[in-house]
Amino acid sequence: MKFSWLVTKEQEGKRLEQVLRREYGFSRRLVTRLKYYGEALINGKPAIAITPLRTGDEVHVYVPEVIEPQPPQDIPLRILYEDNHLIIINKAPGMVCHPTKGYPQGTLANALSHYWQQRGEAHPARLVTRLDKDTSGLVLAAKSAWSHYRLSAGNLCKQYYGITRGIPHPTAGEIEQPIGMLPGNPSRLGVNPSGKAALTRYETENILGNLALVRLSPVTGRTHQLRIHMAWLGCPLVDDYLYGREEGLLGRTALHAYALRFRHPATGEPLEFIAPLPEDMKGVINTGEVTE
Protein backbone atom coordinates (compact mmCIF):
# COMPACT_ATOMS: atom_id res chain seq x y z
CA MET A 1 0.00 0.00 0.00
CA LYS A 2 1.67 3.18 -1.23
CA PHE A 3 0.81 6.88 -0.96
CA SER A 4 2.67 9.82 -2.48
CA TRP A 5 1.80 13.53 -2.48
CA LEU A 6 3.12 17.08 -2.28
CA VAL A 7 2.27 18.85 0.95
CA THR A 8 -0.26 21.67 0.48
CA LYS A 9 -0.55 24.95 2.34
CA GLU A 10 -3.47 23.50 4.29
CA GLN A 11 -1.23 20.68 5.54
CA GLU A 12 1.58 23.03 6.63
CA GLY A 13 2.65 22.38 10.23
CA LYS A 14 0.54 19.25 10.68
CA ARG A 15 2.16 16.00 11.73
CA LEU A 16 2.43 13.25 9.15
CA GLU A 17 0.16 10.95 11.18
CA GLN A 18 -2.51 13.68 11.37
CA VAL A 19 -2.65 13.98 7.60
CA LEU A 20 -2.65 10.22 7.15
CA ARG A 21 -5.56 9.81 9.56
CA ARG A 22 -7.70 12.79 8.55
CA GLU A 23 -7.14 12.89 4.80
CA TYR A 24 -6.07 9.38 3.84
CA GLY A 25 -8.30 7.38 6.17
CA PHE A 26 -5.56 5.69 8.18
CA SER A 27 -6.75 3.89 11.30
CA ARG A 28 -4.67 3.80 14.48
CA ARG A 29 -3.70 0.26 13.54
CA LEU A 30 -2.39 1.38 10.15
CA VAL A 31 -0.36 4.19 11.73
CA THR A 32 1.15 1.65 14.16
CA ARG A 33 1.91 -0.70 11.26
CA LEU A 34 3.67 2.16 9.45
CA LYS A 35 5.79 2.78 12.56
CA TYR A 36 6.97 -0.81 12.95
CA TYR A 37 6.78 -2.34 9.46
CA GLY A 38 6.45 0.44 6.91
CA GLU A 39 8.48 3.31 5.57
CA ALA A 40 7.90 7.06 5.36
CA LEU A 41 10.10 9.36 3.31
CA ILE A 42 9.92 13.15 3.22
CA ASN A 43 12.03 14.68 0.46
CA GLY A 44 13.83 11.34 0.16
CA LYS A 45 14.80 11.14 3.83
CA PRO A 46 13.35 8.75 6.46
CA ALA A 47 10.64 10.31 8.61
CA ILE A 48 8.51 9.27 11.58
CA ALA A 49 4.78 9.65 12.17
CA ILE A 50 5.12 12.80 14.29
CA THR A 51 7.27 14.66 11.74
CA PRO A 52 5.73 18.08 10.96
CA LEU A 53 5.07 18.79 7.29
CA ARG A 54 6.03 21.84 5.27
CA THR A 55 4.41 23.17 2.11
CA GLY A 56 5.99 21.57 -0.95
CA ASP A 57 7.42 18.55 0.89
CA GLU A 58 7.41 15.39 -1.22
CA VAL A 59 5.95 12.57 0.88
CA HIS A 60 6.12 8.85 0.17
CA VAL A 61 4.49 6.35 2.55
CA TYR A 62 4.62 2.57 2.23
CA VAL A 63 2.79 0.12 4.50
CA PRO A 64 3.22 -3.59 3.68
CA GLU A 65 0.33 -6.03 3.73
CA VAL A 66 0.37 -8.45 6.64
CA ILE A 67 -2.30 -10.87 5.43
CA GLU A 68 -1.12 -13.48 2.97
CA PRO A 69 -3.33 -14.30 -0.04
CA GLN A 70 -5.14 -17.65 0.06
CA PRO A 71 -3.77 -20.45 -2.17
CA PRO A 72 -4.89 -19.69 -5.74
CA GLN A 73 -7.49 -21.90 -7.40
CA ASP A 74 -8.79 -21.54 -10.95
CA ILE A 75 -12.47 -20.96 -10.20
CA PRO A 76 -14.60 -18.80 -12.56
CA LEU A 77 -15.66 -15.42 -11.22
CA ARG A 78 -18.34 -13.01 -12.38
CA ILE A 79 -16.67 -9.63 -11.88
CA LEU A 80 -18.92 -6.59 -12.23
CA TYR A 81 -16.38 -3.88 -11.42
CA GLU A 82 -12.73 -3.46 -10.48
CA ASP A 83 -10.27 -0.61 -9.94
CA ASN A 84 -7.07 -0.08 -7.94
CA HIS A 85 -8.96 -0.05 -4.64
CA LEU A 86 -11.83 -2.54 -4.79
CA ILE A 87 -13.58 -5.28 -6.70
CA ILE A 88 -17.26 -6.29 -6.96
CA ILE A 89 -18.17 -9.94 -7.60
CA ASN A 90 -21.54 -11.50 -8.36
CA LYS A 91 -21.14 -14.67 -6.28
CA ALA A 92 -22.82 -17.85 -7.43
CA PRO A 93 -24.81 -19.88 -4.88
CA GLY A 94 -22.90 -22.79 -3.39
CA MET A 95 -19.61 -20.91 -2.99
CA VAL A 96 -18.16 -20.20 0.46
CA CYS A 97 -16.64 -16.73 0.77
CA HIS A 98 -13.57 -17.55 2.87
CA PRO A 99 -11.85 -20.81 3.90
CA THR A 100 -13.18 -22.42 7.06
CA LYS A 101 -12.54 -25.69 8.84
CA GLY A 102 -15.36 -27.31 6.88
CA TYR A 103 -14.43 -25.62 3.57
CA PRO A 104 -10.63 -25.25 3.45
CA GLN A 105 -10.58 -24.58 -0.30
CA GLY A 106 -12.75 -23.84 -3.31
CA THR A 107 -13.77 -20.48 -1.85
CA LEU A 108 -14.20 -17.00 -3.23
CA ALA A 109 -10.92 -16.02 -1.55
CA ASN A 110 -9.09 -18.81 -3.40
CA ALA A 111 -10.67 -17.74 -6.69
CA LEU A 112 -9.66 -14.11 -6.15
CA SER A 113 -6.06 -15.15 -5.40
CA HIS A 114 -5.88 -16.97 -8.75
CA TYR A 115 -7.52 -14.10 -10.63
CA TRP A 116 -5.05 -11.56 -9.24
CA GLN A 117 -2.09 -13.91 -9.72
CA GLN A 118 -2.92 -14.15 -13.42
CA ARG A 119 -2.76 -10.34 -13.58
CA GLY A 120 0.60 -10.19 -11.82
CA GLU A 121 -0.94 -8.90 -8.58
CA ALA A 122 -1.01 -10.35 -5.07
CA HIS A 123 -3.80 -9.08 -2.83
CA PRO A 124 -5.28 -10.85 0.20
CA ALA A 125 -9.04 -11.24 -0.08
CA ARG A 126 -10.20 -8.48 2.26
CA LEU A 127 -13.94 -9.07 2.08
CA VAL A 128 -15.95 -6.03 3.12
CA THR A 129 -19.25 -7.90 2.72
CA ARG A 130 -19.77 -11.64 3.08
CA LEU A 131 -22.56 -13.97 2.07
CA ASP A 132 -23.60 -17.38 3.31
CA LYS A 133 -22.69 -20.34 1.11
CA ASP A 134 -26.21 -20.64 -0.31
CA THR A 135 -26.77 -16.90 -0.80
CA SER A 136 -26.02 -15.51 -4.25
CA GLY A 137 -25.21 -11.97 -5.30
CA LEU A 138 -22.94 -9.03 -4.66
CA VAL A 139 -19.74 -9.25 -2.63
CA LEU A 140 -17.44 -6.26 -2.11
CA ALA A 141 -13.72 -6.85 -1.51
CA ALA A 142 -10.96 -4.32 -0.86
CA LYS A 143 -7.45 -4.52 -2.31
CA SER A 144 -5.66 -3.00 0.70
CA ALA A 145 -6.04 -2.54 4.43
CA TRP A 146 -6.62 1.16 3.84
CA SER A 147 -9.46 0.56 1.37
CA HIS A 148 -10.97 -2.04 3.66
CA TYR A 149 -10.94 0.39 6.57
CA ARG A 150 -12.50 3.19 4.52
CA LEU A 151 -15.21 0.95 3.08
CA SER A 152 -16.01 -0.71 6.40
CA ALA A 153 -16.24 2.65 8.15
CA GLY A 154 -18.49 4.07 5.43
CA ASN A 155 -22.23 3.80 4.98
CA LEU A 156 -22.89 0.62 3.00
CA CYS A 157 -26.47 0.27 1.80
CA LYS A 158 -27.42 -3.32 0.98
CA GLN A 159 -30.60 -4.76 -0.48
CA TYR A 160 -31.58 -8.39 -0.90
CA TYR A 161 -34.36 -10.35 -2.54
CA GLY A 162 -35.82 -13.37 -0.82
CA ILE A 163 -38.66 -15.79 -1.49
CA THR A 164 -40.64 -16.58 1.63
CA ARG A 165 -42.91 -19.44 2.54
CA GLY A 166 -45.98 -17.50 3.64
CA ILE A 167 -47.12 -13.92 3.01
CA PRO A 168 -45.70 -11.25 5.34
CA HIS A 169 -48.29 -9.39 7.37
CA PRO A 170 -48.25 -6.49 7.06
CA THR A 171 -46.84 -6.71 3.55
CA ALA A 172 -44.26 -4.00 4.32
CA GLY A 173 -42.67 -2.82 7.51
CA GLU A 174 -39.77 -3.15 9.92
CA ILE A 175 -38.58 -6.01 12.08
CA GLU A 176 -36.69 -4.81 15.12
CA GLN A 177 -35.82 -7.89 17.13
CA PRO A 178 -32.50 -8.60 18.92
CA ILE A 179 -30.48 -11.58 17.77
CA GLY A 180 -28.32 -13.84 19.90
CA MET A 181 -27.68 -17.43 20.93
CA LEU A 182 -30.85 -19.23 22.01
CA PRO A 183 -30.91 -20.01 25.75
CA GLY A 184 -31.83 -23.67 25.28
CA ASN A 185 -29.45 -24.19 22.38
CA PRO A 186 -26.17 -22.24 22.71
CA SER A 187 -25.03 -23.36 19.25
CA ARG A 188 -28.02 -21.83 17.49
CA LEU A 189 -28.89 -18.19 16.75
CA GLY A 190 -32.36 -16.72 16.96
CA VAL A 191 -34.44 -13.86 18.31
CA ASN A 192 -33.29 -13.38 21.90
CA PRO A 193 -34.21 -10.41 24.15
CA SER A 194 -30.66 -10.52 25.54
CA GLY A 195 -29.08 -10.47 22.07
CA LYS A 196 -27.73 -7.62 19.98
CA ALA A 197 -30.05 -5.05 18.43
CA ALA A 198 -31.07 -5.87 14.87
CA LEU A 199 -33.29 -4.02 12.39
CA THR A 200 -34.57 -5.17 9.00
CA ARG A 201 -36.86 -3.29 6.61
CA TYR A 202 -38.92 -5.36 4.17
CA GLU A 203 -41.39 -4.87 1.35
CA THR A 204 -43.44 -7.50 -0.47
CA GLU A 205 -43.14 -7.12 -4.24
CA ASN A 206 -45.06 -10.13 -5.52
CA ILE A 207 -47.36 -12.80 -4.11
CA LEU A 208 -47.27 -16.26 -5.67
CA GLY A 209 -49.89 -18.41 -3.98
CA ASN A 210 -48.44 -18.97 -0.53
CA LEU A 211 -45.02 -17.70 -1.57
CA ALA A 212 -43.87 -14.08 -1.64
CA LEU A 213 -41.01 -12.23 -3.29
CA VAL A 214 -39.74 -9.72 -0.73
CA ARG A 215 -37.13 -6.98 -0.86
CA LEU A 216 -35.05 -6.89 2.32
CA SER A 217 -32.88 -4.05 3.61
CA PRO A 218 -30.75 -4.84 6.66
CA VAL A 219 -30.00 -1.73 8.71
CA THR A 220 -27.76 -3.70 11.06
CA GLY A 221 -25.49 -6.57 10.07
CA ARG A 222 -26.03 -9.50 12.42
CA THR A 223 -25.19 -13.06 11.41
CA HIS A 224 -28.15 -14.66 9.57
CA GLN A 225 -30.20 -11.54 10.35
CA LEU A 226 -32.52 -11.67 7.33
CA ARG A 227 -33.15 -15.39 7.69
CA ILE A 228 -33.87 -15.13 11.41
CA HIS A 229 -36.11 -12.07 11.09
CA MET A 230 -38.25 -13.52 8.31
CA ALA A 231 -38.64 -16.77 10.25
CA TRP A 232 -39.68 -14.75 13.33
CA LEU A 233 -42.30 -13.01 11.20
CA GLY A 234 -43.71 -16.43 10.34
CA CYS A 235 -42.44 -16.33 6.76
CA PRO A 236 -39.14 -18.25 6.60
CA LEU A 237 -37.14 -18.15 3.41
CA VAL A 238 -37.81 -21.03 1.07
CA ASP A 239 -35.46 -24.00 1.60
CA ASP A 240 -33.83 -22.44 4.66
CA TYR A 241 -32.64 -25.58 6.42
CA LEU A 242 -31.77 -23.71 9.65
CA TYR A 243 -34.72 -21.41 10.22
CA GLY A 244 -37.40 -22.93 7.99
CA ARG A 245 -37.50 -26.29 6.28
CA GLU A 246 -35.90 -27.95 3.30
CA GLU A 247 -38.59 -28.52 0.70
CA GLY A 248 -36.59 -28.96 -2.52
CA LEU A 249 -38.27 -26.09 -4.31
CA LEU A 250 -35.02 -24.21 -4.91
CA GLY A 251 -32.34 -26.48 -3.49
CA ARG A 252 -30.80 -23.65 -1.49
CA THR A 253 -31.90 -20.81 0.77
CA ALA A 254 -33.87 -18.38 -1.41
CA LEU A 255 -31.78 -15.26 -0.76
CA HIS A 256 -29.92 -13.01 -3.20
CA ALA A 257 -27.78 -9.90 -2.54
CA TYR A 258 -29.34 -7.65 -5.16
CA ALA A 259 -28.02 -4.10 -4.70
CA LEU A 260 -25.03 -2.42 -3.09
CA ARG A 261 -24.51 1.34 -2.65
CA PHE A 262 -21.52 3.09 -1.10
CA ARG A 263 -18.97 5.84 -1.65
CA HIS A 264 -15.65 5.11 -3.29
CA PRO A 265 -12.91 4.94 -0.61
CA ALA A 266 -10.53 7.21 -2.53
CA THR A 267 -12.72 9.63 -4.50
CA GLY A 268 -15.91 9.73 -2.43
CA GLU A 269 -17.92 9.16 -5.61
CA PRO A 270 -21.28 7.44 -4.97
CA LEU A 271 -21.37 3.99 -6.53
CA GLU A 272 -24.27 1.60 -7.09
CA PHE A 273 -24.18 -1.99 -8.33
CA ILE A 274 -27.03 -4.33 -9.22
CA ALA A 275 -26.99 -8.11 -9.62
CA PRO A 276 -30.25 -9.28 -11.27
CA LEU A 277 -32.08 -12.24 -9.79
CA PRO A 278 -30.40 -15.56 -10.64
CA GLU A 279 -32.15 -18.04 -12.89
CA ASP A 280 -33.17 -20.44 -10.12
CA MET A 281 -35.07 -17.76 -8.21
CA LYS A 282 -36.52 -16.39 -11.46
CA GLY A 283 -37.80 -19.87 -12.24
CA VAL A 284 -39.76 -20.06 -9.01
CA ILE A 285 -41.21 -16.58 -9.56
CA ASN A 286 -42.07 -17.09 -13.23
CA THR A 287 -43.81 -20.43 -12.71
CA GLY A 288 -45.43 -19.46 -9.43
CA GLU A 289 -44.80 -22.99 -8.29
CA VAL A 290 -46.18 -23.71 -4.84
CA THR A 291 -45.55 -26.82 -2.75
CA GLU A 292 -46.92 -27.78 0.63
Active site residues: 132
Contacts of 232 (CB under 8 A, 6+ apart): 175, 177, 190, 191
Q: Long-range contacts: 22-25, Cβ < 8 Å, 24+?
A: 24/146, 25/146, 25/149, 25/150, 25/153, 25/265
Q: Comparing C-alpha atoms, which of 75, 71, 48, 73 is closest to residue 59? A: 48
d(CA 197, CA 153): 19
Closest-CA residue to 214 (of 202, 224, 225): 202
Other residues' Cβ atoms within 10 Å of the Cβ of residue 256? 25
Q: Say if residue 93 is preceded by a cis peptide, omega within 30 of 0.
A: no
* Segment (H or E) for 137: strand 136-142
Residue 274 DSSP symbol: E
Q: How many CA atoms lie within 13 A of 265 on its CB side?
A: 24
